[in-house]
Amino acid sequence: MSATTTTTDERVTTTGAPDRATIEVLRAGRVARRRRYVMVVVLLVVGVVAMYATSVMAGRTFYGPSDVWGVLRGEQVPGATFTVGTLRLPRATLAIVAGASFALGGVTFQTLLRNPLASPDIIGISSGASAAAAFGIIVLGLDGSRVSALAITAALAVSALIYLLSWRGGVLGTRLILIGIGIAAVLDAVTNHLLDRAGQGEVQDAMRWLVGSLNNTQRSDVTTTTVGLVVLGGTLLVLARNLTTMQLGDDAAQGLGVRVERTRAVVVVCAVGLIAIATSAAGPIAFVAFLCGPITARLVGPGRSLFVPAALVGALLVLVADFAGQYAFGARFPVGVITGALGAPFLVYLIVRGNRTGGNL
């Protein structure tokens, strides 16, 4: 009798809890997902390090690891001191930092609104920064840090406008995306009008803000973007668990102890800040914020936070695109041209896929 009772208890309890076999299956699934996540992160780190080393050493002239190490130590290495120290190192470092910033900003909006189209370069935030920069250069005659400050301010203002126009007792993702696309169209029209009335020199200065480029990267750009990534990106990583919980819905998240409105406000400000600062340094590198979230979701699978691997995907994407734009073709192309060529087909794929499934993108 005792043995029979024990066997029955192992299969199902009186409270309806899962039996041991089910628990083992669930545990094995968690372990497999964790291993997959760790493996993806490790491979992405290796890819970023390898591509960073390639970007620093390779080019029209190759400099070996000893030359690069000498430059890093402050030694005067003929040729390498300027080429590596002044040109390649800041450029490759900004590619990593800006790529990670765009990726974190994009995946934050996509997670918050539960829609892969909710990307800053789709909903008008990047367009706001670009239009403001073009206005500052062409109309006001600004340059340098003043253009960057104007672009950051405009990105924050546009994001606030989109959020306010989308508010109807709450923010619905579809409404925000449609309003953002409309505002982006208006801002792009303003930018085109400014370019039409600009001189040749002004157009060349403004083009960095329109397509995204790592040309003429300054150490101050790297420093500013790195500080923004550490502060704002670090805040997003701290709030990543709450943001994931909010995907269950506001009521469920509040029931689990998440302060929904405060969390939403903080993550939106951090995401917009990351996008604005990265845009001020490298221009609106097209589709990086849009691509990284869906790519990362397919790499790590369901049930895991996308923030860290998405940042690595962004860094790797910008590094590869910039290197390809410089050396893979007969002419040199800005990094934004390469990422735009990758992102546009992916956008079409998402829309077609959503239509075929009859559900969300």
Q: DSSP assignment of 296-346, as one string?
A: HHHHH-TTS--HHHHHHHHHHHHHHHHHHHHHSSSS---HHHHHHHHHHHH
**Interatomic CA distance for residues 327 and 330, integer angstroms:** 8
What does the pLDDT read at residue 18?
62
**Interatomic CA distance for residues 292 and 90, integer angstroms:** 23
Q: Which two tokens stand for residue 169?
A: 């007792």
What does the pLDDT read at residue 11?
44
Q: Which two tokens stand for residue 83?
A: 């080429």
| 8-state DSSP, 167 | B
Block residue for tokens 């996540």: 37
What pTM does this model have?
A: 0.86
**pLDDT-flagged residues of the chain (< 70):** 1-18, 169-173, 350-351, 353-361
Q: Which two tokens stand for residue 139?
A: 């109309």
Block residue for tokens 């943001």: 243
Q: Which two tokens stand for residue 113?
A: 């609104």
**Interatomic CA distance for residues 37 and 116, integer angstroms:** 20
Are the beta carbons of 67 and 80 closer than 8 angstroms?
yes
- Which residue from 149, 135, 155 is spatially nearest to 202, judged by alpha carbons? 135
- Which residue from 118, 141, 133 is spatially nearest to 294, judged by alpha carbons? 118
Counting every residue, how long is the chain?
361
What does the pLDDT read at residue 357?
54
What does the pLDDT read at residue 172?
62
Give CA torsion, residues 281, 195, 121, 209, to 10 deg: -10
What does the pLDDT read at residue 42?
96
Q: Is 2 exposed, middle or buried (CB count within 10 Å of its CB: 0-12, 13-18, 19+)?
A: exposed
What does the pLDDT read at residue 119?
82
